[in-house]
Amino acid sequence: AQLVESGGGLVQPGGSLRLSCATSGLTFSAFDMFWYRQAPGKECELVALITSADGTTYYKDSVKGRFIISRDNAKNTVFLQMSKLTTEDTAVYYCHTDSRPRPYTHCPGQGGYWGQGTQVTVSS
């Protein structure tokens, strides 16, 4: 399977970005999908997930109300709409799928499928 992220870039504080993760080689509609991120000097962290069964979502506390995860099963793609970005959101963002979300010290981790990552930099 392949996961390919896009949509990262440089944005000013308070701005917005929309990340996309296009997948191939897997039955996308059957997989829960996750967005992780890793900032310099910090551990990999789960940012958001969306289930395959009913689209239930989960968000890390610090992004609740600012990020929205969604999926388009017809296009085999998962999205992360990010708004009100702060410098604390600066990180490499990774799309990931596995049987369940796991804690990782480093992204990408072992197991499942990972994208190559996309850099998000929030700076004035």
Average pLDDT for the chain:
97
- Average pLDDT score over residue span 29-57: 97
Beta-carbon contacts of 51 under 8 Å, excluding residues fewer than 6 positions away, are 32, 57
Q: What are phi and psi of 5, to 5 degrees?
A: -85, 155
Confidence band, pLDDT 50/70/90 cuts, at residue 87: very high
Tell me, what's the pLDDT at 90?
98
pLDDT band of 65, cuts 50, 70, 90: very high
Q: Tokens 């897997």 label which residue?
A: 26
Strands, E, within 12-105: which ranges?
Answer: 17-24, 33-38, 45-50, 57-59, 67-72, 77-82, 91-97
Exposure of 100 by Cβ count < 10 A (0-12 exposed, 13-18 middle, 19+ buried)? Answer: exposed
In which band, very low, low, confident or very high, does the pLDDT at 115 lie, cut at 50, 70 and 90?
Answer: very high
Judge if the upstream peptide bond of residue 108 is cis by omega within 30 degrees of 0: yes
Helix (H) or strand (E) holding 10: strand 9-11
Q: What is the mean pLDDT of residues 46-70?
A: 97
**pLDDT > 70 in the chain, percent:** 100
Q: Which range (8-17, 65-74, 102-111) has the least confidence? A: 102-111
What's the CA dihedral at 60, 26, 17, 68 to 10 degrees?
-40
